[in-house]
Chains A and B, each alone.
Chain A
Amino acid sequence: MKFKTTLIAAAVMLACQVGHAQTAKEVAAEMRQMREELRQLRAELDGLKKQKNQEPATAAVISAPTQSQTSAEASAPVKASGTMPYANTSPARDAEPVVNAVNLFGYGELNFSRLKNSIASSEATARRAVLGFGYKFNDRTRFAAELEVEHAVVSAEDSGEVAFEQLYVEHDISDGLSAKMGLFLLPVGYMNESHEPTRYYGVTRNLVETAIIPSTWREIGVGFRGLQDSGLRWDAGVVTSFDLTKWPTDSAETKESPLGSIHQEGQKAKAASLGYYGALNFDGVPGVNFGGSLFHGGIGQKQPTIASPDASVTLAELHTKWQVGAWDLSALAAQGWFHDVSAFNTSGGGVDNPVPNQFRGWYAQAAYRLWRSGDYSLVPFTRYEHVNTAVSYSGVIPGQAVSTGPDTKVWTVGASYYLHPQVVVKMDIQKYQNNSDLDRFNMGIGFHY
């Protein structure tokens, strides 16, 4: 607009100046010419405006770079020198599309299980449906969330669950250093952060990263991640922790997952005692990963209603993965310690379900891509797991009947049939060496997008 105004003003001034030397007829002719030029300029501007307005419409369509140079421009060589005096000759950049700031992603998994010795317990369920969405405020600050519905239906009569698995803002502090603030997944093991069904073998998630590491484990807090070109990735943060007041003193359900029984998941989490975590991963050799993590946090939460208001937990974990050729080999070991829980266990004449001192587990897994054709592939696998969710106790009153363990040892053998790298049909058989009543056959389908 400013440009047009200037042009008009210039035209008028010019007309005034020449008016002294030209006849009124000549001036009128020049004015007509000016008007014509202005009309052409206006048309050009309208064209540019129209072009600009069309960009948001195409923004959602992620496009490849487009050729924006004319052949004359394109054929002009760009000289190089030590000081890099290049013009930016990238048509890809010149035509940088405005990528939609809103992103949608997610995953789903539906499972069927049939217990070998209890056909009546056979079950099929829409285990998880997750809708993920994100928004980019600018190139350094973004928001992401994952909303999960477990078991299809949530109502007063059903056991389904709706939860935000993640809800955080991420900010890139510098190239290679970012911060997360909000409800986010802790960088512990393999499955906690990458838990989409196409990312792991077996219809159900492995036992170690469910019973010992309470996947999907998320906390509210602040976390930092550094990524170095050497392949070293580090994480550190301060977050909420667990809540011992949730421990069921009269039920052994904690045997399934001690930490899973007392997690807070960002739901009015007690925050008198916080948790601290750190993790290191090395990816400097392509296809190979080594890593480990350490978490320590208060669980007593200074609560006067329990006998161990200063109780705490430590969880340490090591993992490695080798993806070489058609092989995918991995192993993980995790060990947890509860501290200062004796008073809690002794209270009230001795709780029926005491808090253990230690819990631990490990697994080793081998998968081999047997066949592949285009997007399709078949990957059989086997996994051995050894888990003990109650290794020992302290503060248990003499004579009280409490049991350690169980010392669960499971073989899982099965296959993943990928219809596409992001869509998988799975099948496996699980054999529990210590309790054949748990032996089962599983089938499932999973996808992520």
Chain B
Amino acid sequence: MKMQFANRRQLLQKMGAASLCATSLVGGSVFAAVFMEMPQAQKLLLPNADAFQALPLAMDEVRSNAIAKASDTHIPKNFNPQIWRAVQHEKALGWVIADRVIGKYDLIDYAAGFDVDGTSLGMEILAYRESHGAEVRQTAWRKQFAGKKGPSAMRFPDDIRNISGATLSCQHVTEGMQRLSALAMMLAAGK
């Protein structure tokens, strides 16, 4: 699979309910090597879905603490993953959850798919901003998450193996995926 480099201008053009605000952002400094748009990722993660409904979910202290405990990870500052419910003919197929983590010193945007039981269907890297550790984009590494249910099934480096020379990116993305998995398990349980 050839890695895709999406058009950032197109992304920025879409940014705007508020066009004035969008104009000011275009003029600002937005640093990102965007590889994939969210809709692309949604379709790749849950290809049978015919709609993705945004699901607002307040990341309150109770929920954050529950995720921290279940995933055995630290909750990053401003942790606020975005959730979409994937449906096909009004029937729920699962969720797509997007989040970002710091690789070595900059942000990695990624999205994960989960079925209605909370089992991971895979993950996609949306944007990567560093010169080292970009190997997390490789299909073979990302495929490790598919089929794993719950954060304890994706521990680094036991269940999700490392890539030599990209340790921090691998570890931090895995920890992020553990948090999303914990969240997916909560959604699956109707919490």
Contact = CB atoms under 8 A, between A and B. Distances in A.
A62 B107 contact: yes
A218 B152 CA distance: 41
Interface string B87-110: 100000000001110101111010
Interface stretch (A18-26, A81-89, A249-257, A270-278): A81-89
Contacts of B3: 175-176, 229
Given A78-B51, A176-B3, A325-B158, A98 B81 contact: no
A98 B108 CA distance: 14
B80 A64 contact: yes
B4 A175 contact: yes
Interface in B41-82: 42-43, 49-56, 72, 76-82
Contacts of B104: 105
Interface string A305-323: 0000000000000000101
A64 B79 contact: yes
20 contacts: A45-B20, A61-B78, A64-B80, A65-B98, A73-B54, A74-B55, A78-B39, A80-B42, A84-B43, A86-B38, A86-B39, A87-B39, A89-B39, A89-B54, A98-B29, A136-B129, A139-B129, A175-B35, A287-B162, A421-B168
A88 B51 contact: no
Interface in A268-297: 283-289
A79 B28 contact: no
Contacts of B139: 229
Contacts of A86: 37-39, 42-43, 52
A174 B5 contact: yes
B76 A286 contact: no
Contacts of B76: 64
A52 B21 contact: yes
A66 B80 contact: yes
Given A64-B80, A69-B56, A193 B161 contact: no
Contact of A48 (B18, B37, B72): B18
A297 to B, nearest CB: 24
A244 interface: no
Contacts of A88: 11, 14-15, 37-39
B33 interface: yes
Contacts of A87: 14, 39
Contacts, number: 207
B51 A77 contact: yes
A139 B8 contact: yes
B165 interface: yes
A78 B52 contact: yes
B82 A92 contact: yes
B157 interface: yes
Interface residues of B, number: 77
Given A77-B87, A80-B50, A324-B161, A65 B11 contact: no
B164 A321 contact: yes
Contact of B54 (A48, A69, A321, A421): A69
A98 to B, nearest CB: 5
A178 interface: yes
B29 to A, nearest CB: 5
B107 A99 contact: yes
Interface in A193-245: 193-194, 199, 227, 229-231, 233
B146 interface: no
A267 interface: no
B31 A99 contact: yes
Nearest to B5: A175
Contacts of B15: 88, 93-94, 96
Most A-side CB within 10 Å, residue of B14, B50, B165? B165
Contacts of A65: 80-82, 98-100
Interface string A259-273: 000000000000000
Contacts of A175: 3-5, 33, 35
Most A-side CB within 10 Å, residue of B3, B33, B72, B138? B138
A289 B77 contact: no
Contacts of B43: 80, 84, 86
B38 A89 contact: yes
A101 interface: yes
Contacts of A284: 138, 140
A326 B53 CA distance: 40
